[in-house]
A and B are shown apart, each in its own frame.
Chain A
Amino acid sequence: MTPTTHPAGTEYPFGPMPPHEAAEHYHRIAADRPMTRMTMPYGGDVWVLHRNAAARQMLTDRRFVREPFRTGERVVPYFVEFPAFLRSTIQFEDPPQHTKLRRLVQTAISPKRVRQMRDSAAAFANQLIDEMVANGDEANLVTAYNVPLPIQMLANLLGVPAADHEKFERWAHATLAVANMDEQERARNMGELYAYMLDMVAKRRAEPREDLISSLANARDKDDTLTDEEILPIAMILIVGGFDNTANFIGAGVMALVGNPAQMELFRTDPDGLAPTAVEEVLRHSAFTTGRPVGGGGGLVPFVATEDVELDGQLVAAGDAILVDPTAVSHDGIALPDDERFDITRKDNPHLTLNYGLHHCLGAPLARMEMQVALSELVKRLPGLKLAGDVVVDMDNLTRPVTRMPVTW
């Protein structure tokens, strides 16, 4: 089959280019077509969605499923080999099993519950800043702030007792890309974490508290068909999804503000008031504010069509794989005016970075709160915050974590 050729200036994927050019390139692609068929390094072909509206349509259409990936029947078409342990999590389930599992935790990580955690998040953020300042006038923000804050908040949410936080942080680090541990040590830490979680589940089953492990432990009251083997991976995916990604986005927020002095100035005038919209804009636009060129070719986890579906004029055939490029759909030139501009005051931000539909990020309320608190407390306490050296990214990792972000104040 001859590959489709696309009009000049709409190639996809595309190599890194200056942000302004990349934005125009994304606009041209979305103007030309809603999606591009791409052959991935692993797993074959996949449709990549560029338009925000079409992506929302796909993400809310139950005819797109993940089962073939979960069973291993299909290799996940992706940039890297998809880790097998991730394929056994809720992310790869479909209804009705997906609904059963999600229902166990969605009230525990709700907007309301997370609001109740806000004060303790702010207190911990300030504690971290106190330590940074006490240790000198320069720090690696990644290890001093971006990573410890999400770990602490998740430990609190799960219900890990304060006495166990240090152990928990060590184990959680092992799941993190920033750890750069050797495989044996990582496996040992993950094994210890899993055993610890199983033990906590048993304890909370006997004596429930108001925490997430208790919700998980007593899930069998709600649905006695669920086993610990099905429940535990939920805790694991929260840990995996909740650290790297959140830490990266906190860092991305710092980079975006430090790189946009006018927006930083604006943010300083009302950090608490502007934090919610600022965070949504970081989620939308941070790929463009790293100081590095922007390429095109990212994607959220794919789906498979169970029947022929027409999306925005393009036929997606039964059996085709499809995914959303989160950077593209935030810069399609259609969903948002002036999408090239970093504007922390935007209301009703249409980004899809936390996904949408059934599989929208389980930890979204927590991630949002953490980002808001992390950025507003930092800016309140360290108004002179700036970069003090080069940012280092670990490109060999699924989540492309930032490992060094030297800052001074």
Chain B
Amino acid sequence: MPKIFFTQPDATVTVVEGQPGDSVMQTAVRNGVSGIVGQCGGSLSCATCHVFLAEDELDRYPPVSGDEDEMLDCAATDREDNSRLSCQLVLAEGVDVHVTVPPEQL
């Protein structure tokens, strides 16, 4: 089962097991991981599931779409080169994910 490592702003790390096919956002919300809101439920219309994806894992996911790109510009914490909306990061069997949670989502 893929594991997600969430690094919080205070450097604590939460590890959660996810299901292939679920998104990082869904897994976070379902497991009560702090700091990921996902208000729109994953429909690319809120920018509140923003995460920084580990640089060396960026190429494991389809690139940022036009819609995701537009919403990343709207995030409460300024985007970086490794910013993703975690509702768009879909888990795959055998592929762990390392993300950092930004200080603000709302």
Chain B contact residue count (CB 8 A cutoff): 23
Indicate if the CB atoms of A357 and B34 lie closer than 8 Å. Answer: no
Question: Are the CB atoms of B39 and A364 closer together than 8 Å?
Answer: yes
B10-37 contacts to A (CB < 8 Å): 29, 32, 34-35
Known contacts A102-B45, A347-B34, A111 near B76 by CB under 8 Å: yes
- B74 pairs with A360, CB closer than 8 A: no
Q: Which B43-71 residues have a C-beta within 8 angstroms of A?
A: 43, 45-48, 67, 70-71
Interface string of A342-366 (1 = CB under 8 A from B): 0000011000001011101000110
Asked if residues B41 and A112 are in contact (CB atoms below 8 Å), the reply is no
- Please count how many residues in chain A sit with their CB below 8 Å of the partner chain's CB atoms: 24
Which of B35, B41, B74, B106 contacts A107, CB < 8 Å? B74
Contact B71 A106 (CB under 8 A): yes
Q: A106 near B41 (CB under 8 angstroms)? A: no
Interface string of A26-58 (1 = CB under 8 A from B): 000000000000000000000000000000100
Cβ–Cβ contact B76 & A59, under 8 A: no
Q: Which residue of A lies closest to B74 (CB)?
A: A110
- Counting CB contacts under 8 A, is A113 at the interface? yes
Let me know if A331 is at the binding interface, CB within 8 A.
no
Nearest A residue to B48 by beta-carbon distance?
A111
CB-CB under 8 A from B39, the residues of chain A are: 354, 356, 360, 364
Contacts A276-B106, A348-B35, A360-B46 hold; do A111 and B74 have CB atoms under 8 A apart?
A: yes
Question: B91 at interface (Cβ–Cβ under 8 A)?
Answer: no
Docked CA distance A110–B67 (Å): 14
CB B21 to nearest CB in A, in angstroms, measures: 15
State the majority secondary structure of interface residues on A.
helix
Q: A22–B28 Cα gap in the complex (Å)?
A: 31
Chain A residues with Cβ below 8 Å from B42 are: 60
Q: Which residues does chain B contribute within 8 Å of A360, judged by CB atoms?
A: 39-41, 45-46
Q: What 1/0 mask marks residues of chain A from 102 to 134 whose CB sits below 8 Å from any chain B CB?
A: 110011001111010000000000000000000
A112, B73: Cβ atoms closer than 8 Å? yes
Q: Which residues of A contact B76 (CB under 8 A)?
A: 111-112, 115
Cβ-defined contact, A357 with B40, below 8 A = yes
Expressed in whole angstroms, the Cα–Cα distance for A106 and B70 within the complex equals 10
Smallest CB–CB gap between A350 and chain B, Å? 9
Task: List, in ascending order, chain B residues with CB within 8 A of A60's CB.
Answer: 41-42
- Name B41's contact: one of A103, A115, A357, A368 (CB within 8 Å): A357
A200 shortest CB reach to chain B, Å: 23
Query: Min CB distance, B86 to chain A, in Å?
Result: 15
In the assembled complex, 27 residue pairs joining A and B whose CB atoms fall closer than 8 Å, in A order, are A60-B42, A103-B67, A106-B45, A106-B71, A106-B74, A107-B74, A110-B47, A110-B73, A110-B74, A110-B75, A111-B48, A111-B74, A111-B104, A111-B105, A112-B47, A112-B74, A113-B74, A115-B76, A276-B106, A354-B39, A357-B40, A358-B41, A360-B40, A360-B46, A364-B39, A365-B106, A368-B106
B residues at A contact (CB < 8 Å): 29, 32, 34-35, 39-43, 45-48, 67, 70-71, 73-76, 104-106
A residues neighboring B (CB under 8 Å): 56, 59-60, 99, 102-103, 106-107, 110-113, 115, 276, 347-348, 354, 356-358, 360, 364-365, 368
Going nearest first, the 5 A-B pairs with the smallest beta carbon separation are A110-B74, A60-B41, A357-B41, A111-B76, A112-B74
